[in-house]
Amino acid sequence: QPPQKDYDDLCSLPDLNEKTLLENLRNRFKQEKIYTYVGSILIVINPFKFLPIYNPKYVKMYDNHQLGKLEPHIYAVADVAYHAMLQRRKNQCIVISGESGSGKTQSTNFLIHHLTA
C-alpha cells in the first residue's frame, strides 16, 4: 500500500468518520507525531517515552505563531492562550482532560514550561 497522507488537523480529513480518524491518529503516532488538532482542540497520544520536541528551539519556534501554521504542539496552544491574554486583557483557560495515565500532568508541565519561557 502507498503511504497514506496524514492530516495534522482532523477537520481536514476528506472523509471524517471513526475509521479514518483512528487511522490518521495511528499513522501520525507511528511517525512519532503525538499531537493532532481538531480545529483549536489538541489531541495528544502519550508515547510513554521522552521525545526531543521540548527544547528551547521548539519554544522559540512556536513563539507568537497562529494555531495551525506549524506542526501541532502543546507549545502552540500555550502560546495562543498567552497572546490572547495579552491582546484581549482577559484571563484565558486551557482544559486538559484524559484517562488516568494519559499524560495530563506531563502536558501541564510542558504548558507551564512554555509559558515561563
Annotated binding site for ATP: 98-105
Are residues 92 and 84 in contact, defined by beta-carbon separation less than 8 angstroms? yes
Rounded distance between C-alpha atoms, residue 80 and residue 77, angstroms: 5
Whole-angstrom distance, CA of residue 24 vs CA of residue 9: 10
Per the annotation, where are the binding residues? 98-105
Which triple of cell numbers denotes residue 114?
Answer: 512554555
Burial class (CB in 10 A: 0-12, 13-18, 19+), 114: buried
Residue in 33, 105, 1 with CA at minimum distance from that of residue 10? 33
